[in-house]
Structures are given as structure tokens and as C-alpha cells.
Structure 1
């Protein structure tokens, strides 16, 4: 795992603009980004470069062939899964330094097996509005990252 307090994990992301924006956010917060295949785009895509601007070369990014190889390579200290299907509030997640914030893809969310395998590690972003089912992936990642940093009292970098 990286030396930074947060790791972002995207499971089978589909939209390059979201991944580019998340990469830019990771650079800004000093976090690592882990991408789990299959990816819905090529990493060399112009869309990633446009969203990530000139930050992408500074990003600590690793691509893993699948979930199991990610677990073997990183041996995470904590897994925190963000999902609209979770019942526990993000505000109650006890983030630890080195945690991995895990997000599913834009169309399907997390793989269904995660809901049983990691049931106690699922967290939902509170959304009191009545008409939205979910948030944009990049927006959700930003909210969860900043809540983790707030709880961990990460100083300005």
C-alpha cells in the first residue's frame, strides 16, 4: 500500500471522464488510485487526459487484473465500500489510515458478491433529497475522500 492515508479503488470503471477527474482528485489529495479490470476505456484515451489535465503523470495509479490480484498485491488494512444499497451512513464509517475506499462502476455499481462478502463494510452517502437515485461517480468519490480526510484529521498537503 502507499504511504498516503487514503487509497481509492474503482472496480471496472466505464467512463473515462470520471476516472480522469478522480485521478486529478487523488493527485490533489496525495492519494493512490487502483483500477480493477475490466476498464470501459483505454488508459491512453484523450478523455482521461482532458479530465485529468496535466495531473495524470503525477498520479500514483495501479491497474489490477481482477479483485483477487488487487487484494494479494495490496493487502489492504481496511476496505470501505460506497454503495447506494448500503444502510449504514458514511458518517459512521471508522476510517483508518491506509484505508481503501472502494467504488463500483457507473452503470452497475459494485459486483453483487460484495454485498454478502463485505456486508459490514458497506456505507452510503446520505442523500435526503427525494428525486436522485445516486450521484456521479467522481462526485461520490470526492465526498467520501473528504469525509475520510476529515475524520483522519489529514492536514493540508
Structure 2
């Protein structure tokens, strides 16, 4: 795997399904930290992920701290609108973990304070609350992949004859 996406307590199955599809096409792993706001058998989750579910490695954790402890040699970056630095100011490495909070509340401030030097944000308008979770994951993930020269990804397409 190239990058790892972590969703802490995701609430909307369609977002998680879209993120799973993004993970599949980028060879990224998906880590889901409980509690989940939906069943993993949810039809909206399955529909949003299309037929990509067998192409993504999904792992479940009861706590973000358990995950961090299991991968304590890896870098974790915590996405938040409250972060002091932009996501494009980070130099990403293979197997980094990109951590995102639940749709209604984001990541807990206690976690952000503990890892403040590793918090990142996507620049956006001052008066607006946040971007969609699936869009946020895609933006930051693709910046990391761009910096790594899109390892193992096809970056040229072919037109088909009609």
C-alpha cells in the first residue's frame, strides 16, 4: 500500500463508500475507527463503493490511539479546519496515515492539541464550515500521491475507437 486513510467515527455511509472506492483506485488502505454511524452491510455504503470493495483493504479499530500504537513508526496527519498549516506544506512519505474525523464534528480537539504539529487543513472560505468528507480525503490523498509520483498508478489513458 502507498497511503493509508483513517476515518474516525464516520457517520454517512455514502461518504465512506466513496472513500473506499478512492482507496481502491489509489492502492490505499482504509482504516475505520468505531463507532461507525452505519452498518457495514448498509446498501448505500455498498452502492457508493460500487464493485470495488474486494479491491480495498479495510481494517477496523476501536480507538484511534490503538491504531497509532500499532503503527508508531509511521507518520500520522490529522485533517481539520482548525489546523495551523495547509495540507500542501507537508512532505508525504510512503505509508503515511491521513486521519479524518466524523462529518458532523471532525476530530476531537484533544487529539488535535496532542498532535498539533501534524494537523493539516484544506484552505477554504472564512464563512464556511467545511468540505464534504469524501472530497477532502481525495484532495489530500492525491497531493500525497502527486508528491510520490503516483506510485503504481497509471497516469495516461487511451481513447477507444467508436
Greater displacement, 142-151 / 69-78: 69-78
Matching residue of 1:153: 149
- Pairing partner for 2:3 from 3, 6, 17: 6
CA distance in 1, matches of 2:100, 2:117: 15
The CA distance in 2 between the partners of 1:134 and 1:14, in whole Å, is 15
Report the structure number with the largest CA radius of gyration. Answer: 2
1:103 aligns with 2:100: yes
Which of 34, 40, 43 is the aligned partner of 1:43? 40
Structure 2 unaligned residues grouped into runs of 5+:
155-162
Does residue 1:68 correspond to 2:65, yes or no?
A: yes
Q: Distance in 1 between matches of 2:29 and 2:130?
A: 24
| Segment of structure 1 superposing worse, 80-89 or 101-110 | 80-89
Q: How much has 1:89 moved relative to structure 2?
A: 1.0
Query: Is 1:33 paired with 2:30?
Result: yes
Q: Which residue of 2 aligns with 1:132?
A: 128
CA drift of 1:73 comes to 3.1
**Equivalent residue, structure 1, for 2:84:** 87
8 Å CA contact 2:83–2:121 kept in 1: the answer is yes
Give the superposition deviation at 1:87.
Answer: 1.8
Tell me the TM-score normalized by structure 1. Answer: 0.92
Task: Indicate conservation of the 8 Å contact 1:76/1:98, yes or no.
Answer: no
Partner secondary structure for residue 109 of structure 2: coil
Deviations 1:42-88 (A, max 9, x none): 11111111100111122100011111221233335100111111121
CA-CA distance at 1:125 after TM superposition: 0.7
The CA RMSD over aligned residues, in Å, is: 1.3
Q: Where in structure 1 are there 5+ consecutive unaligned residues?
A: none
- Secondary structure class of the residue paired with 2:141: helix
CA distance in 1, matches of 2:73, 2:61: 14
